[in-house]
Structure 1
Amino acid sequence: MSTHHDDVAPAREWEYVIVGAGSAGAVTAARLAARDCGDILLIEAGDDQPRPRDRSHPLADAGRLVLAGHNWDYRANLRTSSRFDDLVGQGAGGSAAAGGGVANRALWERFPYQLGKVVGGGSAVNGAIALRGLPRDFAAWEAAGNPDWSWERVLPFYKDIENDADFPGRLHGDSGPLPISRTPRGDVHPLDAAFWEECNRQGVTDLADLNDGHEAGVGPIPGNAVDGERIDAATAFLDGARNLPNLQLRTGVRVIRVLFEKNRAVGVEIESDGTLSTIRARHVVLSAGAVGTPVILQRSGVAGAALLRALDIAPVADLPGVGRDLVDHPSVVIWSKPADGVCTAGLPWRQVAARMSSGFDDDVDIQVGLLNNVESRTIPGFADRLGWPLVVGMSVMLMRPRSRGRVFLDSRDPLASPVIELGIGTDPEDVERLCHGVRRTWNFLSSPGLSSRLTKTQFWSDRMVANDGVVRSGVRHIMNPGWHAAGSCRMGREDDPGAVTDQEGRVYGTENLRIADASLFPVIPSAPTNLTTLMLAEKLARSTKE
């Protein structure tokens, strides 16, 4: 496979052009090339990874999130606004509720939402957590008109992508490209061990394999790292296809829009070094992610008619679901200062997680875990006025949020940044579940095994946690997204007005245009999204026909 940066594409027609070399795009390109599905061009706006990649490189270090240098510099409004309605006119689609009357703040409107912009995408910059969705998530996918996406039907593809060193057998694969392993209980950090013990004491039972489909339990986090090195999608899937003669990767190239003849996709318009040009292809696959994919569609005339009219973009297909229903996992992190000697920079930062009920009702609705050995300078939005170089976070993540946002263009400028409104906390039930989760988590932090190893806690106190109004206000103002954007071009039945594609990712109202990324998710999985994105791309690549 050859890699080109800013050269002019040869005047030829490709069989497939795949937009985005992130988790889904890397899998899609590698699988289609291996099946000899014609000449395939994989386009990435970011750079390639260094090859060979030094172990000290940020993209190789599974112990840190990469939030600079290899990211889209997006800014998101964590709630919503009236901007969409103002753009298209009242009553032309509406937007989610504006956050329960709580005033927007600068951070809420300009939250740094750095998604991966590099070969490997989000999988190259994330925490290398390899958690599957749960059977109930896929039951919801089925119920949304996607019968091929039941737990029973997705499990073979989870298995195909993984090499699970800990649980060979019926539920796991042992020969896939992605290595998955867990830290044995006896080897976890003393602080994680104390959290695990307190979970047991409070009735959360052990779950040795958090990927076996059971919901409640505490256990070691499965991860896709080997000896501290992050094994991202590019390393696991794409590297093995780089020498195939029918696959070419072009980096530093931004796709502006899909080109159509009537409603048939015939290629893409690209921008490189300030120059626009076109690439012809018989099939276009969008794998630009839950922010990038809907924006490309909107620029291409595939969106709701009201938005296209407002932007004066010629319509190709009237699909009001494009950019709607954007969702991310909201979480609240309670930060504490560890006692001297408890934490060490560079040690693993996520080893144990627990799924449990927040207490709002009996449902298993939150995932709780420690963020350990964290250097405070690496935390987005963390105002380190306290002089704590190392911190410990107790994270409460809402597994199945009801709130929805949207992503849309408000300018025809081909390089304009999209408006990203995550809408987190706009459904009051999400806030209440997180409030209950904060209280439950506070009980963990107050236990002797944890409190004896922590000296101070930022923001929260016993008095605050005891006050309903204060907890609610705190949750509303502190909750953050998980960088798990999904759902903005969801698949579903053709008679579903919010569906954008069928269950094989084929975009309604068009020909030869597919989506393969997390924007397709009808419901966000009850876990970080990367492993499910890889599974989805693997499954769709099998069904993609020439």
Structure 2
Amino acid sequence: MYPLFFDYLIVGGGSSGCVMANRLSADGSQVLLVEAGPDFAPDAIPDDILDGNPTRAYYNTRYQWPSLTATIVQNVSRHTHYEQARLIGGGSSINAQVANRGAPADYDDWASGGAAGWDWESVLPFFRRLESDLDFSNEYHGNDGPLPITRVGKAEWSGFICAVSEAYQSRGIPFRPDFNGEFGDGHSVVPLTNRNRRRVSAAMAYLPASVRARPHLKILPETTVVRLISSGRQITGVETESKTGQKSYFAETVILCAGAIHSPALLMRSGIGPAGQLSKLGIAIVANLDGVGKNLQEHPGVAISAYLKPNDRMAPNATGYIQMHARYSSGHEGCPSTDMAISALAKSAWHPIGKRLGTLNFWVNRSFSTGTVSLKNSSHATEPEVNFNMLSDNRDADRLKKAFRFVAQLLEHKAVAPVALDPFPSTWTGRAKRISSYNRINYGITGVVAALMDSSSRLRRGIIKSVITDGRSIADLLNSDELLDRFIRQNVFGNFHPTSTCRMGSSEDLNSVTDASGRVHRLAGVRVADASVMPFCPRANTNIPTIMIAEKMSDAILNER
């Protein structure tokens, strides 16, 4: 039996929730961690999660919110399933394990924009605190934190990755051994949350058996938080629902760690958000906060893939999934330096076709477009309306088109062209998603198609044109700005880095939701401590910045106590 009252009640067992549960229970406080998805004991973690190659876990629908969909581009007829983790460890249990931090200027801009105390000098100690870097020991890195950080060695690079590295060098994108050291344009081996070729999620790092053994820490899996309980402007607990029924739990402080989509949705269901919208849904207003659900950001991207000969593919025993990461500057007016990113993959999916394809996945690393999360109705059983509104800021659309041209040129480089055969614009549409679902039928289908691709170059080109793409070639898109613009808008995808829907800022800023310690404006007893508080999406994969946020906020909470 669980007690009904706690010092801290944490909603969401993703990356930030695992950190919070560990840090806040360390001093004997009573802590309840509520997770909507399954929990896995340290000695019973499924093999697809442990696998250093994430493609099986990522495509396992058991680990995702099944009904979450999103509009990617406004006024483009494309409403798609949006993959977000629903299990202990959250995205860190299924993601590509990339451990980037972002630019120091990102955090300085957070601070100057109203998130006091979140400048680079203030956040670096918490980046150091979370990690045990197995490759570097200097002023940038920590060596005794819970999360191991290691890197794909250049010795494991495939022929494709080596060729792309040579092309980068010729285009002024130098090799940097440490991507989390001095920030700037360059390409590098990828820092990973990984040890001995196996994933280390936030759950594994922060909730090992020794932490779970604390008598005052309780983990409640497969339980949905329906809404927050309030008494006036004081949040006192949560209502939950599980297979065993409904139950309420109470706490001195409720901490939302449900992510940039579900944290604002929970606030709004509880009467905290834009009063006009909530009133139309029959939700009683607890606090009128117009910024809840606004400012939604992501990293918009597209990709180009190519067929690789056997000797240029990713070795079966190679570490990780993304073998090389690059950052470069677009030079676009009104945009910061090092604002673009490219991930290089010598294996594009788990299935036989994916094993034969190399991909350059490129995206806008500092985007300016913003979208919204809103409620369709007052029921917790209905997923919120998610509209990313990608490319609504012309700077994002222009840079992504320019990046397409840049990557196409890279593939024509003398080192790359003999390796990356028959390149084509690749998409992440319904067909690609369906065939990527991890099952025996898809393995069989892709195995047949892959064998045909191997049999002759002429047949391979026919398959690429008629089966894999919509018939448009890279040349078609490069020769028509109208076609390229249409392709970008119809096929842009996010990198599963949603942020900023409960962003930190001054209480006088109508678009901010929380203060610099995660307290929700105009309320007591509730905080937010996940990616939703980021003032904007940093120039990085968001898992490590999210863990940093939880480390810093948990430290602030304990110091206050």
Does structure 1 residue 275 correspond to structure 2 residue 275? Answer: no
Stretch deviating more after TM superposition (403-412 or 18-27): 403-412
Instruction: List gaps (5 residues or longer) in structure 2.
Output: 426-472
Stretch deviating more after TM superposition (332-341 or 391-400): 332-341
For 2:20 and 2:283, how far apart are their aligned partners in 1?
Answer: 30
Deviation, structure 1 residue 462: 2.9
Which deviations, in whole Å up to 9, do the C-alpha atoms of 1:130-156 show, x marking residues without a partner? Answer: 000211111220122112000000000
- Tell me the equivalent position of 1:207: 176
- Tell me the equivalent position of 1:48: 39
Which deviations, in whole Å up to 9, do the C-alpha atoms of 1:461-485 show, x marking residues without a partner? Answer: 2342243222222211121000001
Does structure 1 residue 78 correspond to structure 2 residue 71? Answer: yes
Q: How does 1:77-476 map to 2 (within 5 A)?
A: 77-79=70-72, 98=74, 103-105=75-77, 108-109=78-79, 111-239=80-208, 240-273=210-243, 275-344=245-314, 346=316, 347=318, 348-360=320-332, 363-375=337-349, 377=351, 390-459=356-425, 460-476=473-489
Does structure 1 residue 60 correspond to structure 2 residue 26? Answer: no
Letter in 1 for 2:347: N
Stretch deviating more after TM superposition (130-139 or 58-67): 58-67
Query: Please, what TM-score do these two structures have when normalized by structure 2?
Result: 0.86
Does structure 1 residue 505 correspond to structure 2 residue 538? Answer: no
For 2:292 and 2:96, how far apart are their aligned partners in 1?
Answer: 29
- Tell me the equivalent position of 2:457: none
Deviation, structure 1 residue 280: 1.4
Q: Secondary structure at the match of 1:17?
A: strand
Query: Please, what TM-score do these two structures have when normalized by structure 1?
Result: 0.89
- From 533, 538, 541, the equivalent of 1:528 is 541
For 1:377 and 1:234, how far apart are their aligned partners in 2?
Answer: 28
- 1:388 to 1:502, Cα distance in 2 relative to 1, 3 A: closer
Q: Secondary structure at the match of 1:315?
A: coil
Deviation, structure 1 residue 127: 0.3
Q: Could you say which structure has the higher helix fraction?
A: 2
For 1:401 and 1:274, how far apart are their aligned partners in 2?
Answer: 43
For 2:9 and 2:290, how far apart are their aligned partners in 1?
Answer: 25
Q: Secondary structure at the match of 2:406?
A: helix
For 1:164 and 1:427, how far apart are their aligned partners in 2?
Answer: 37
For 2:408 and 2:381, how far apart are their aligned partners in 1?
Answer: 45
| Identity rate, percent | 30
For 1:408 and 1:154, how far apart are their aligned partners in 2?
Answer: 31
Which deviations, in whole Å up to 9, do the C-alpha atoms of 1:48-70 show, x marking residues without a partner? Answer: 1254146x711111212413211
Q: Contact 1:338/1:456 (CA < 8 Å) preserved in 2? A: no
Deviation, structure 1 residue 40: 0.6
| CA RMSD after TM alignment | 1.8
For 2:350 and 2:147, how far apart are their aligned partners in 1?
Answer: 30
- 1:32 to 1:50, Cα distance in 2 relative to 1, 3 A: closer
For 2:150 and 2:14, how far apart are their aligned partners in 1?
Answer: 22
For 1:458 and 1:164, how far apart are their aligned partners in 2?
Answer: 37
Letter in 2 for 1:530: N
Stretch deviating more after TM superposition (359-368 or 126-135): 359-368
Deviation, structure 1 residue 389: 5.6
For 2:85 and 2:139, how far apart are their aligned partners in 1?
Answer: 33
Letter in 1 for 2:369: S
For 1:184 and 1:457, how far apart are their aligned partners in 2?
Answer: 26
Q: Contact 2:324/2:345 (CA < 8 Å) preserved in 1? A: no
Q: Secondary structure at the match of 2:76?
A: coil
Letter in 2 for 1:303: G
Instruction: List gaps (5 residues or longer) in structure 1.
Output: 1-7, 81-97, 379-386
